[in-house]
Structure 1
Amino acid sequence: MSGNVLRLACTAAVAAQIALVPPAAPPAAAEPAPGTRSVAGLLTDLQRLYREAEKATEAYNATEEELSKRRAQAERLDAALARTRLSLHERRQAAGLLARRQYQSRTDLSPYLRLLLARDPQHALDQGQVIGRLARERAEAVARLTGSERRAGELARRARKALDDRLALAERRKRERDEVRRRLREVERLLASLSSRQLAGLAELERRGTARAQERFLASGVLGDDAKPSAAGETAVRFAVEQIGKPYVWGAEGPGAYDCSGLTSRAWARAGTAIPRTSQEQWARLERIDLGELRPGDLIVYFPEATHVALYLGDGMVVQAPRPGARVKVSPIAANPVLGAVRPDPGGEPVRRYTPPRLPAGASEGSDEGHAAGYAPAAPETSIR
């Protein structure tokens, strides 16, 4: 095993509480070597890199979700266009048949003149009704044909635009995917440059920082007594707990790996409630609640940009997929700077009895920030169609 891999393997529990460390200053032109930087400075660099990677990941997820919607829209348009073109073909045939009948019934005298010259008045009236009916049928056939042609043209235009939009989104997704990979390579390079002593210092700084942040958060009184979850919330919690130990992989939403919003969206999908895919959309579109009203199953959103999310477990703890290199785990609610909370099922009635799920051994072990080794590969890419 190479020296870099050995050093990376030592980092499975390395992270720190982001709120306790000031934002990193922009790197200077001549950045000092890793060996000359303080542990706090290294931690700040790691925090900055991870936040940038997570922002890029959520942007990628949002584009991927929009691309899926556009694919579905394009498929619906293509199907509608095919049906309209078939109808147009049938109506053209009907219009052609009317035209041939009219041509075959032509004489030197117009139908109207023959009507005037008829000897039998009743026969004349009958003939007039036939002429009127044929005229109406011809007018209706022309109108239907014109409408079908107009609709087919509009659907074809929309289908072409949908394809163009899909291709543009696919290109944007590729750029965002490349940006995520670039950010993660920066993290890997920094981790590989650290000594065992520096890594141990980072782990200790994380442990103390997270403990202090959680103590302050609980002492503030912002959390009330946990309410009982709804039936759907209980299902989401139990599903999330079952995922503990699975790796974080950016862009993944199960079943073998997850990113932060992939875990929360999949947990609530299992509970029968569809919620947005990304943490930003979960924060923007779900109903916000006070932290004092939390109940298991609610979502805790982190950072001013809403770039991280976890599922509330109860008693001031959450289930989350922390960062690349980490695994789904139980963490203190204050392991990251809390932005607020949202509830996917605001109308859900609390269950009468609730027994929290039993946590597996080691559920809280590992880094809350995911400064760890062994980056799992990205989620399999969907084809660009």
Structure 2
Amino acid sequence: MAAHRKPRNSPLGGQAARTAATLALASAATATVFEGSGHAEPRLTPAQVKAKVDRLYQEAEVATEKYNGAKEKADAARDALDRLRDEAARRTARLNTARDGLGSVAAAQYRSGGLDPAVQLALTSDPEQYLERAALAEKAGQRQAATVTSVRRELAGIRQLKAESDERLTQLRGHEADLRRQKAAVRGKLDEARSLLARLTAEERARYEAAASGAGRGDTDGSSTGTPGSQADRASGIRGPVTAPSSRAAQAISFARDQLGKPYVWGATGPSAYDCSGLTQAAWRSAGVALPRTTYTQINAGQRVSRSELAPGDLVFFYSGISHVGLYIGGGQMIHAPRPGAPVRVAPIDEMPFAGATRVS
């Protein structure tokens, strides 16, 4: 019976079993430690964090300019669509008026019974009056024919406007989709930069922010007293007013100086915040010159000049992708909106890789 069966011997008994269990637990713990170490992010030095954050901000600025371009195209497509819809509404109103006129003529003909003109002449008690009316009717018929032609023309025009509106609507939706993609790209880069900065200690972060705001480098963050112009002169090493080649260039520089210390916000065109191309666009707008919205279109908005030919008021561009722009003020200095966390300030043009310059007129 089952009660008389011998218990089966374990291949590892007593001390051997305990030793094996201990080794298994130790092995599992070691594996866990190594697995966790494999997924842990390495500790970055402050210099490495700064380099990565600077790269992310530069990539975010590239995406910002693409966003600005997509927004400009979307706005243009939306304006064109609105104009087409307004014109279609006007033509539809004219069409309805013409149709009402034709309806009145048709109703009059129905009331007269549509009798043959010869029969009407035979039955009338006043032939002279009838002939006079017939002459008027002939003229009315000519006007009616012209109205029919007008109706046909309006119908064709409305069909054409609808086709153009459908095309513009398709373009608008495409630009809006691009806008959403570029917005997501900018936010992704900025979120990643913030995450990296969060790894720094309070002291390291303070040093980084001080460097970003231009403290200790002779640049101005706009927080000191005095007029914006005098701040710019002190920061650039220029004594006295900048000698601009034209009154418009002088006005653009004066406007840019008045913006010193205002924050960088991507996609912003003022008056309380700017991105780089938003600042240069606003500065030259104050001088009566309409610049396009993006860095890669602003570089073609005037006459190209070499670095050795730079004059105050010129637009200076940076990076191979033409992703950053500043307003040259002389003495190797510019006013620009650098990036998030760094307000509008005066800075040397040597602080970024120079890509070209344009003289606006």
Q: TM-score, normalised by structure 2?
A: 0.71
Q: Distance in 2 between matches of 1:269 and 1:201?
A: 34
* Paired position in structure 2 for 1:71: 78
The aligned runs of 1:189-208 (5 Å cut-off) are 189-195=195-201, 196=203
CA distance in 2, matches of 1:88, 1:198: 68
The amino acid that maps onto 2:304 is R
In structure 1, the residue matched to 2:143 is 137
Equivalent residue for 1:168? 174
- 1:58 is aligned to 2:65: yes
Q: Structure 1 residue 86 and structure 2 residue 100: aligned? A: no
State whether residues 115 and 127 of structure 1, in contact with CA within 8 Å, keep that contact through their aligned partners in structure 2: no
The match for 1:261 among 253, 271, 277 is 277
SS of match in other structure, 1:284 = coil
TM-superposed deviation, 1:198? 9.2
Instruction: Quote the residue 2:320 is aligned against.
Output: 304
User: Which SS does the other structure have where 1:339 is aligned?
Assistant: strand
Does residue 33 in structure 1 map to residue 42 in structure 2?
Answer: yes
Please name the residue that 1:336 is paired with.
352
Where do 5+ consecutive residues of structure 1 fail to align? 1-28, 117-121, 212-225, 346-385
Work out whether residues 95 and 138 of structure 1, in 8 Å CA contact, stay in contact via their aligned partners in 2: yes
Distance 1:88 1:107, change over 3 A: closer
Instruction: Please give the alpha-carbon distance, in whole angstroms, between the structure 2 residues aligned to 1:67 and 1:194.
Output: 40
Give 3-state SS (helix, strand or coil) of 2:55's partner.
Answer: helix
| CA gap 1:107/1:193 in 2 versus in 1, 3 angstroms | closer
Residue 230 (structure 1) aligns with: 246
Q: CA deviation at 1:140?
A: 0.7
Q: Given residue 94 of structure 1, which amino acid in structure 2 is its aligned partner?
A: G
Partner of 1:25 in structure 2?
none
Q: Tell me the alpha carbon deviations over residues 308-359 of structure 1, each in whole angstroms, 9 at most, x when there is no partner.
A: 00001111110000011101000011111111111221xxxxxxxxxxxxxx
- CA distance 1:162–1:264, change in 2 (3 Å): same
Larger RCO: 1 or 2 (CA < 8 Å, sep 6+):
1
- Aligned-partner Cα distance in 2 for 1:180–1:75: 29
Q: Residue 272 of structure 1 corresponds to which residue in structure 2?
A: 288
State the AA in 2 paired with 1:71. Answer: R
* Matching residue's letter, 1:162: R
Give the superposed CA RMSD: 3.7
Amino acid in the other structure paired with 2:360: P
Normalised by the size of structure 1, how large is the TM-score?
A: 0.67
- Superposed CA offset, 1:100-128 (max 9, x none): 334445554346x9899xxxxx9999788
- Structure 2 alignment gaps of length 5 or more: 1-37, 123-127, 219-241
Is contact 1:227-1:294 (8 Å) kept?
no
Q: 1:150 aligns with which of 151, 156, 163?
A: 156
Deviations 1:234-284 (A, max 9, x none): 111001001111111111111111110111111111111111111111113
Based on CA coordinates, which of the two structures has the bigger radius of gyration?
2
Structure 2 Cα separation of the partners of residues 240 and 105 of structure 1: 78
Letter in 1 for 2:103: G
